[in-house]
Structures are given as structure tokens and as C-alpha cells.
Amino acid sequence: MNLIAATTTRAGLSVRARLDSGFYPKGIKVANANKELDAIPIVRDKFHGEWNYKIAPR
């Protein structure tokens, strides 16, 4: 948390972070998960697209 919250950039971006202490049960399945994920218009960056991406408007 502290590492994320202390992040800044030369352009002045600052990051605020807080811990989500909510309860999230394990084992919940999404019907047709691959179909739903494939429908999301993800645009991956050339530099580490697995980490850096945008979700384009539909």
C-alpha cells in the first residue's frame, strides 16, 4: 500500500490508494467467462501489453 500510495511522476501524477477490507467469497464461477472477456475491447500497449492496456469505448 505504501509503495503504491507514494507513486508520483515527473508530470505531477499522484496516486491515492486505500485498502479494501471487503469479503469476497472464493469459487464463484462466471457463465461464459471467455465469451464475456473476449467481448471487452482491450487495446494493449506495445510496451508490456500484458500490464499496460486501455479499455476502448464500445
Domain count, the chain: 1
Query: What is the greatest pairwise CA distance in the chain?
Result: 43
Per residue in 27-42, pLDDT (tens digit) is 988 777 788 888 899 9
- Domain range for 43: 30-58
DSSP E strands in 16-58: the ranges are 42-44, 53-55
Would 9 be classed as within a structural domain? no
Give the pLDDT of residue 29.
Answer: 83
Would 46 be classed as within a structural domain? yes
**Entry pTM:** 0.42
Mean pLDDT value across residues 1-25? 82
What proportions of the chain, in percent to the nearest 5, are helix, strand and coil? 15, 15, 70
